[in-house]
């Protein structure tokens, strides 16, 4: 091969080195290490076959984490994208104050999740918190937002929804502003009502945006961990433990790298599987401009 | 033409929701300037009885704020600078050059969007330890040095530039990297700036990875310092100090956002994915 033919690859090499060492290699490394016992009693990794996976599948804690993660993800994705779409449609209507509303709904994206989690943690305080103070004013019972194991998962989900909805709204707006106004006016003249115009015209036209927002929301849901670390540490009684926090617990609290690697592999496979299933099913039906 | 009724309805719906959205922000501000007496009261007050500005003074006393600020800023700048080199080179190859395996390589880049750094913290931690980089600022930034999102963004931008311009430069004796630097990048500045906003925000706010790979003042970032603050001082009165610290770490980015609202928002709107 001539040197000249190698030149294009040289441009890709710098990025590819980092891509390889910090995305592909770790994904492979986790899959290999998931087949080893590697913990406080096995300081040198010892081959274990699928034992780490078997142990996980038999552990109640693991299934609770899976359940928590599914509940968190589904409610986060559905609620945040639904509200985001609603807000985008409304903001798209107004002439004045449009950019004001945009900024107000978007600003949580600028706040670090670590700080947002602190803010919400203090708003959730049982006695001195803001939310219970207002509940009491309304004559309602105080709620133990973060210490009641039936409610805590809901409470941390709220933080995620508050943090990400504005960003998804912005992505929806980017699509909606491209929908030609003449098309809407024509539909209106033909007698289509607001709901029909949304579902029959706007949504199909922005289906590629909808599709990508969905994928981003899935990734954001599955990687959620900051607010868990700060607000609940996975408790009470494991009720807010999500997959990434569980990986962290196994790796850095119990020093069980074999189990942590098995969980990492499961997470990566889940992410790739969900996204590729979406691409092959919904992705084909999506409307692309250009 | 839009019917007046539905526009009015939009305002009626949006205004209360906007106010609700602002509650956590206002809560942070008001709590940051409250005195203990105001906090330990069952009745919540929005306006403090006394403005306890000394809370900000206390933050600087209990945490090495200047050092954390320096660490965070240098990580943000370093990461963006390295990224801008790696992404423009790769984007140029994907936008302009033909070579076997190009589409496969591009696909491999895009898969990175599906495997966020947060999902591979365990193996990356091992790598960082093997490299002897634990507790350095380099450890925080290095895992983000290649950005699939940035590569994608710059590839789109380069493709929109007519080839003639490059050809002229080439006749004048410019080679590939110089064409990128002197012809393409100046013309695609808006895209690079958009990427700077997205990348900068992500790394200023990043928390979990820096938390794992740093364990002293030497490399910790502002967000990690904030989390350390509550662990050091877990009693209720320290709420005010924590919120004052939250205001301080949020302020630089927030002020930037208030000044550059339009470009900021446009950068994120152009973002197919928020992966610094």
User: Computed over its alpha carbons, how large is the radius of gyration of chain A?
Assistant: 23
Whether the Cβ atoms of residue A178 and residue A171 lie closer than 8 Å to each other: no
* Regions of chain B where pLDDT drops below 50: 1, 272-276
Cα angle: A143, vertex A148, A150; to 5 degrees: 105
Which of B61, B36, B63, B34 lies closest to B50, judged by CA?
B34
Phi, psi dihedrals of residue B45, rounded to the nearest 5°:
-115, 135
The pLDDT of residue B273? 38
Residues of B in contact with A30 (CB under 8 A): 120, 122-123
Q: Domain map of chain B by residue range?
A: 60-269
* Regions of chain A where pLDDT drops below 70: 1, 287-290
CATH top class, domain B60-269: mainly alpha
Q: Give the residue from B68, B115, B129, B224 with the most A CB atoms within 10 Å of its CB, the best one to mutate.
A: B115
Q: Is B269 within 8 Å of A127 when comparing Cβ atoms?
A: no
The pLDDT of residue A288? 62
The pLDDT of residue B4? 76
The pLDDT of residue B1? 46
The pLDDT of residue A197? 81
Bond into A236 cis (ω within 30):
yes
Reading the block at residue B218, the tokens are 């030497």
What single string gives the DSSP state of each residue in B189-216?
HHHHHHHHHHHHHHHHH--HHHHHH--S
The pLDDT of residue B233? 52
The pLDDT of residue B231? 67
Half-sphere exposure of B263 (CA within 13 A, CB side): 13
Distance of CA A158 to CAs A76, A164, B268, Å? 8, 10, 22
3-state secondary structure B216-251: CCCCCCHHHHHHHHHHHCCCHHHHHHHHHHHHHHHH
Q: Is A11 within 8 Å of B25 when comparing Cβ atoms?
A: no
The pLDDT of residue A198? 81
Residues of A in contact with B122 (CB under 8 A): 26, 30, 247, 251, 257, 260-261, 264
Superfamily (CATH H level) for A60-285: MetI-like (1.10.3720.10)
Angle (deg, nearest 10), helices B65-96 and B239-259: 40
> What whole-number distance in Å separates Cα of residue A153 and Cα of residue A228?
9
Q: Is B111 within 8 Å of A230 when comparing Cβ atoms?
A: no
The pLDDT of residue B196? 94
The pLDDT of residue B230? 74
Long-range contacts of B266-269 (CB under 8 A, 24+ apart): B266/B194, B267/B193, B267/B194, B267/B195, B267/B197, B267/B198, B268/A106, B268/A109, B268/A167, B268/A170, B268/B197, B268/B198, B269/A170, B269/A171, B269/A173, B269/A174
Residue the block writes with tokens 């790696």: B86
Distance of CA B238 to CAs B31, B66, B250, Å? 10, 20, 18
Residue the block writes with tokens 């850095």: A252
The pLDDT of residue B274? 36
Reading the block at residue A48, the tokens are 């274990």
Among the partner residues B17, B116, B261, nearest to A223 by beta-carbon distance: B116
Long-range contacts of A235-240 (CB under 8 A, 24+ apart): A235/A149, A235/A152, A236/A146, A236/A147, A236/A148, A236/A149, A236/A152, A237/A149, A238/A61, A238/A64, A238/A65, A238/A68, A239/A64, A239/A68, A239/A149, A239/A150, A239/A152, A239/A153, A240/A68, A240/A152, A240/A153, A240/A156
Looking at the complex, report in whole angstroms how far the Cα of residue B219 sits from the nearest Cα belonging to chain A.
Answer: 17
Which of B171, B130, B115, B16 lies closest to A19, judged by CA?
B115
ipTM above 0.90, yes or no: yes
């Amino acid at each position: 091969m001539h040197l000249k033919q190698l030149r294009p690859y040289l441009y890709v090499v710098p990025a590819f080195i980092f891509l390889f060492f910090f995305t592909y290699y770790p994904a492979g490394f986790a899959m290999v290490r998931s087949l080893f016992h590697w913990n406080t009693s096995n300081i040198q990794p010892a081959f274990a076959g699928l034992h780490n996976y078997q142990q996980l599948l038999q552990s109640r804690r693991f299934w609770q984490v899976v359940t928590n993660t599914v509940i968190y993800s589904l409610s986060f994705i559905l609620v945040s994208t639904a509200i985001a779409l609603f807000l985008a449609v409304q903001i798209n209507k107004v002439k004045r104050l449009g950019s004001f509303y945009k900024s107000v709904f978007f600003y949580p994206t600028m706040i670090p999740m670590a700080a947002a989690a602190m803010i919400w943690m203090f708003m959730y305080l049982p006695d001195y918190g803001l939310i219970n103070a207002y509940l009491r004013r309304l004559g309602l019972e105080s709620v133990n937002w973060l210490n009641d194991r039936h409610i805590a998962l809901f409470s941390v989900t709220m933080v995620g929804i508050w943090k990400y909805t504005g960003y998804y709204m912005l992505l929806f707006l980017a699509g909606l502003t491209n929908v030609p106004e003449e098309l809407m006016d024509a539909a209106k003249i033909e007698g289509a009502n607001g709901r029909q115009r949304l579902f029959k015209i706007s949504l199909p036209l922005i289906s590629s945006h909808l599709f990508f927002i969905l994928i981003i929301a899935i990734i954001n849901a599955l990687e959620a961990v900051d607010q868990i670390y700060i607000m609940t540490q996975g408790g009470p009684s494991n009720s807010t433990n999500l997959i990434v926090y569980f990986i962290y617990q196994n790796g850095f609290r119990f020093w069980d790298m074999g189990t942590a690697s098995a969980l990492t592999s499961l997470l990566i496979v889940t992410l790739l599987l969900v996204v590729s299933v979406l691409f092959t099913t919904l992705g084909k039906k999506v409307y692309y401009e250009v | 033409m839009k019917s007046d009724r539905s526009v009015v309805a939009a305002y009626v719906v949006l205004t209360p929701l906007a106010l609700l959205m602002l509650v956590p922000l206002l809560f942070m501000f008001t709590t940051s300037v409250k005195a203990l007496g105001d906090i330990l009261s069952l009745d919540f007050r929005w306006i403090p009885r006394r403005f306890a500005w000394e809370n900000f003074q206390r933050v600087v006393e209990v945490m090495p704020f200047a050092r954390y600020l320096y660490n965070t800023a240098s990580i943000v700048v370093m990461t963006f600078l390295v990224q801008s080199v790696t992404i423009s080179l790769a984007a140029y190859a994907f936008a302009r050059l033909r070579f076997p395996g190009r589409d496969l390589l591009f696909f491999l880049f895009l898969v990175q969007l599906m495997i966020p750094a947060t999902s591979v913290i365990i193996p990356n931690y091992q790598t960082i330890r093997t490299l002897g980089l634990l507790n350095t600022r380099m450890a925080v930034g290095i895992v983000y040095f290649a950005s699939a999102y940035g590569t994608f963004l710059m590839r789109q931008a380069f493709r929109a530039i007519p080839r003639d311009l490059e050809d002229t430069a080439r006749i004048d004796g410019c080679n590939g990297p110089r064409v990128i630097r002197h012809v393409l990048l100046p013309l695609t500045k808006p895209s690079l700036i958009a990427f700077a906003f997205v990348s900068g925000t992500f790394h200023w706010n990043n928390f979990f990875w820096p938390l794992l790979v740093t364990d002293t003042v030497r490399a910790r970032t502002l967000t990690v310092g904030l989390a350390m603050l509550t662990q050091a001082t877990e009693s209720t009165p320290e709420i005010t100090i924590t919120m004052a610290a939250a205001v301080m770490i949020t302020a630089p980015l927030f002020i930037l956002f208030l000044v550059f609202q339009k470009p900021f928002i446009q950068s994120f709107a152009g973002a197919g994915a928020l992966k610094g």
